[in-house]
Structure 1
Amino acid sequence: MRSRGTVLALLVIVGSFTLPFVAHAGIPFFGPIIPDLNNRCAAGWGMLITVINNIISLLITLAIVLVAPLMIAWSGFLFVVNPVNASGKEQAKKI
């Protein structure tokens, strides 16, 4: 019984440290692609990597916010429209 309590306490502690990282991963990116750091100094390789990272984050956000709901809606539409046609259901399942 004592080992269960230790494992549970360890899980709570580790979970409390990792939960902010998981929550931060779900935040979409709608910020500026080029950060305001270029006003202070010349852009270098670090700025290039930051801009590339921001572009990738923006594309992932657009895919999550726009493309995924449209694909889910289209799949649901195909399920509703083709209740008898087996090929229509298979096409909806592939989406």
Structure 2
Amino acid sequence: MAERQRVAFGIACYGGYFGWSRSGTAEEVAEAMGITAPTFDRHLREAERELFAGYAERRGTTGRGPREARTGVAHHPGLRDSAPSARR
């Protein structure tokens, strides 16, 4: 995970961003990092993606298969077999 992703994730965790009654906003966390809110969001999403992918891989639940090749999105056996764009 890149340093900025680690920083974004750490500040979000300890800054209340993930709390149920969120005490920190993306704008506040971004300001603390000296970046814009969209940049913070990108760093955070990339960090989450890496963390969740690593967790799924360790648990043996990556679900990689034909759907991923077709859509770029991994399929998990517990999910319906429809492409994300088809859900509206």
**Which TM bucket (shorter chain)?**
0.3 to 0.5
Rg larger for: 1
Please, what TM-score do these two structures have when normalized by structure 2? Answer: 0.33
Please, what TM-score do these two structures have when normalized by structure 1? Answer: 0.31
Give 1 or 2: higher helix fraction: 1
